[in-house]
Amino acid sequence: MSETDPAEWPVDLVGVTESLVTTLGPNDLWNVAALGVHAGEPVTATTWGNTRTRRNFRGNGRGYVQFAYDPELFVDAALSIRERSEPVLDEADAWVEIAAESMGVEDDEGTTTEQWALRPVDSAVVERHPRTTNRGYYAVIEATVAASRLDVDAYDTETLVDRLTYFKGVVDSCGGPREQAAFDRLSELVGWRDVR
């Protein structure tokens, strides 16, 4: 791709789109994490705390934002440490290599946040196929956000546990086997029922 023909985002971004991001660490492995991508000009994302994503963006200013539909992958990316030798996930339906530029650091009730401008460098659509909407899937995604904030001082733990209880009910009544397995994995990783 030439400098006069910049890459574009491979999917339409509206509001906050949950994605997966891989960033290259000092060990030459790609760390997999969940990342909320905010539509706009430029597209932005915020890191909360001194995460691997933040450190890796600061270290080399690049990464791969990826769009996949596997709820278990989101749970592992949001709540565990997962590293791999290649940047693009096998499960990705589309990906975009990005340059990440810091837009500033703030303190949010004791938690350091850093906003990043994400500029596409290269992108690809790997697979397009019909998707159906499953409320359980989206409940798992929302639950990963709540669970990942349990140790963040800026958030009330009891409120987050109430949200997780609600999302568990949605997964039980509206999700399929993959969503239920993903929520079980979330509970295993976080132990949120014992947090109160």
49 shares its domain with 95: yes
User: Considering the entire predicted model, what is its pTM?
Assistant: 0.81
Count of domains in the chain? 2
- CB 143, CB 122: distance < 8 Å: no
For tokens 């693009």, the residue is: 88
114: domain range? Answer: 16-125
Q: Is 47 exposed, middle or buried (0-12, 13-18, 19+ CB in 10 A)?
A: buried
Give the pLDDT confidence score for residue 3 in this predicted structure. Answer: 44
Q: Which of 125, 143, 173 is the last residue of a domain?
A: 125
Quote the DSSP letter at residue 193.
Answer: G
* CA distances, 43 to each of 23, 115, 193 (Å): 17, 10, 35
95 shares its domain with 44: yes
Mean pLDDT in residue range 74-88: 96
Confidence of residue 15 (pLDDT cuts 50, 70, 90): confident
- The alpha carbon of 87 is separated from its chain's Cα centroid by a whole number of angstroms, namely 15
Distance CA 118, CA 97 (A): 9
Is the predicted pLDDT of residue 78 greater than 50, yes or no?
A: yes
Could you tell me if residue 11 is inside a domain? no
**Neighbouring C-beta atoms of residue 174, cutoff 10 Å:** 14
- CB 70, CB 91: distance < 8 Å: yes
Q: Which residues, other chains included, contact 110 with Cβ-Cβ below 8 Å and sequence gap of 6+?
A: 153, 154
Distance CA 89, CA 103 (A): 27
Is the predicted pLDDT of residue 25 greater than 60, yes or no?
A: yes
52, two tokens: 């691997």
Q: Which of 125, 154, 172 is the last residue of a domain?
A: 125
**Neighbouring C-beta atoms of residue 118, cutoff 10 Å:** 23
56 shares its domain with 147: no
Beta pairing partners, 21 = 33, 65
Confidence of residue 170 (pLDDT cuts 50, 70, 90): very high
Could you tell me if residue 111 is inside a domain? yes
Could you tell me if residue 183 is inside a domain? yes
114 shares its domain with 185: no
Could you tell me if residue 7 is inside a domain? no
96 shares its domain with 25: yes
Query: Radius of gyration (Cα) for the chain, nearest Å?
Result: 17
- CB 74, CB 18: distance < 8 Å: yes
92 shares its domain with 166: no
37 shares its domain with 120: yes
Could you tell me if residue 196 is inside a domain? no
Give the pLDDT confidence score for residue 1 in this predicted structure. Answer: 41
The CATH number for 52's domain is 2.30.110.10
pLDDT above 90 coverage of the chain, percent: 77
Could you tell me if residue 10 is inside a domain? no
120 shares its domain with 168: no
Mean pLDDT in residue range 102-125: 95
Could you tell me if residue 130 is inside a domain? no
111 shares its domain with 26: yes
Q: Which of 105, 125, 145 is the last residue of a domain?
A: 125
103 shares its domain with 164: no
